[in-house]
């Protein structure tokens, strides 16, 4: 497959305006003063596209948007030069808020459920998605489903992409992940909690995490990577299991680390790096994300310095 001629497609079914609020002495029931705030287009697929664009890898995003918040989201994407092609809903796109207490470094997220979709909306998305799959070498399906849309939505979308020979990466949680797994995507990247839910087992040791990636492989997933926040990630490509560890850092905002991780991994594949090198790059990109305020912003120049400090261990 000539990846150089084709772009990446990302799908965010339930995108959000991401509000980041920074202040000190944040306490429930009390007034706190804002020191810095930021409003940007968010949602897992959008974050992946943003990070890919920073690497110079062309990517376009789709999903559902609606109302004034949806309009604002498109304006934000336009300003950033991020390509999009959404299905319009007759309901308002959600707004999520991340509250960062700069004194304690504690992070609180206020996550909205999002607008309700109808089955007609899903049919509209499917036909847009079908045409957007043309000229793509990879599709990333990431994040929460839209309330009202059938739970096995990812099964259908993965199946359609596979029929068109497009690589599929699934980053979902709960039932969306469980249903999506049945379509055997090329790659999955759950975090520990999501992987635990999917296989209904506690992953409280490295050995159990190693067994879990083998388990996913036996299910027909070619590449499975379980990310573990500050402890890095464990991945299996059917040949080797690697545990890749990031350096210690002072976290600014951990939201979107998994999304940046996926973008980093894709960049590795695009550069024809080996599996372990791609994982190393992915971990460094995830770590870079934790150092920036905006999810998916991996522009900082010290990526190479972080990459040198990422350790790879065969398990």
Ligand X SMILES: Nc1ncnc2c1ncn2[C@@H]1O[C@H](COP(=O)(O)OP(=O)(O)OP(=O)(O)O)[C@@H](O)[C@H]1O
**In this structure, what DSSP letter does residue 220 have?**
T
Q: What angle do CA 9, 14, 15 make, to 5 degrees?
A: 70
| Contact (CB, 8 A) for 310 and 247 | yes
- Nearest to 256, CA basis, from 216, 229, 276: 229
Per-residue tokens: 127? 């036909």
Residues 6+ apart with CB under 8 A from 43: 12, 14, 15, 16, 18, 63, 142, 143
246 binding partner (options Mg ion, ligand X, none; Cβ < 5 to 8 Å by kind): ligand X
Q: Looking at beta carbons only, is 74 or 251 nearer to ligand X?
A: 251
Residues 194, 236: Cα–Cα separation, whole Å = 17
For residue 132, the minimal CB distance to ligand X (Å) is 23
Residue from 42, 258, 268, 296 in contact with Mg ion (CB under 5 A): 258
Q: Looking at beta carbons only, is 91 or 257 nearer to ligand X?
A: 257
Q: Looking at beta carbons only, is 34 or 249 nearer to ligand X?
A: 249
Site string for ligand X, 159-198 (x = CB under 6 A): --------------------------------x-------
261 binding partner (options ligand X, Mg ion, none; Cβ < 5 to 8 Å by kind): ligand X
For residue 1, the minimal CB distance to ligand X (Å) is 27
Query: DSSP states of 53-74 as a string?
Result: HHHT--EEEEEEEEHHHHHHHH
254 binding partner (options ligand X, Mg ion, none; Cβ < 5 to 8 Å by kind): ligand X
H/E element holding 7?
Answer: strand 7-12
Q: Where are the beta strands (DSSP E) in 163-217?
A: 167-171, 187-188
Q: Looking at beta carbons only, is 77 or 195 nearer to ligand X?
A: 195
Per-residue tokens: 80? 């950033």
Site string for Mg ion, 212-251 (x = CB under 5 A): ----------------------------------------
In which residue are the tokens 């957007």 written?
132
For residue 175, the minimal CB distance to ligand X (Å) is 17
Does 230 interact with ligand X (rule: CB under 6 A)? yes
Does 287 interact with ligand X (rule: CB under 6 A)? yes
* Region near ligand X per CB under 6 A, out of 22-30, 33-41, 121-129, 286-294: 286-294
Does 229 interact with ligand X (rule: CB under 6 A)? yes
| Site size toward ligand X, by CB under 6 A | 21
* Region near Mg ion per CB under 5 A, out of 3-11, 19-27, 145-153, 257-265: 257-265
| Site size toward Mg ion, by CB under 5 A | 1
Residues 219, 223: Cα–Cα separation, whole Å = 11
Residues 4, 26: Cα–Cα separation, whole Å = 47
Print burial letters for 213-234: b (CB count within 10 Å at least 16), e (below 16). bebbbeeebbbbbbbbeeebbb
Does 111 interact with ligand X (rule: CB under 6 A)? no
Enumerate binding residues for Mg ion (CB under 5 A). Answer: 258
Enumerate binding residues for ligand X (CB under 6 A). Answer: 191, 227-230, 232-233, 246, 249, 251, 254-259, 261, 283, 286-287, 290
């Amino acid at each position: 497959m000539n990846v150089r001629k084709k772009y990446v497609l990302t799908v965010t079914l339930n995108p959000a305006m991401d509000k980041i609020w920074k202040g000190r002495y944040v306490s429930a029931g009390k007034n706190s003063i804002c020191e810095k705030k930021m409003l940007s287009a968010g949602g897992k697929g959008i974050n992946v596209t943003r990070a890919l664009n920073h690497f110079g890898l062309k990517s376009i995003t789709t999903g559902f948007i609606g109302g004034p918040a949806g309009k604002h989201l498109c304006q934000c994407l336009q300003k950033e030069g991020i390509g999009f092609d959404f299905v319009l809903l007759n309901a308002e796109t959600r707004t999520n808020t991340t509250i960062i207490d700069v004194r304690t470094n504690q992070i609180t997220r206020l996550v909205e459920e999002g607008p309700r979709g109808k089955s007609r909306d899903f049919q509209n998305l499917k036909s847009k998605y079908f045409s957007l799959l043309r000229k793509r070498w990879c599709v990333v399906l990431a994040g929460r489903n839209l309330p009202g849309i059938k739970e096995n939505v990812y099964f259908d979308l993965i199946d359609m992409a596979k029929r068109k020979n497009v690589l599929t990466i699934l980053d979902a949680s709960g039932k969306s992940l469980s249903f999506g797994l049945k379509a055997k995507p090329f790659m999955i990247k759950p975090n520990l909690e999501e992987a635990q839910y999917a296989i209904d087992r506690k992953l409280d040791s490295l050995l159990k995490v190693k067994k879990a990636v083998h388990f996913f492989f036996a299910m027909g997933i070619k590449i499975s990577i379980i990310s573990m926040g500050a402890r890095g990630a464990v991945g299996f490509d059917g040949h080797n299991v690697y545990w890749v560890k990031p350096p210690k850092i002072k976290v600014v905002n951990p939201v979107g680390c998994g999304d940046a991780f996926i973008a980093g991994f894709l960049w590795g594949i695009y550069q024809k790096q080996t599996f372990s090198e791609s994982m190393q790059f992915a971990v460094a990109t995830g770590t870079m994300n934790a150092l920036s305020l905006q999810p998916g912003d991996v522009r900082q120049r010290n990526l190479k310095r972080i990459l040198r400090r990422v350790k790879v261990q065969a398990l």
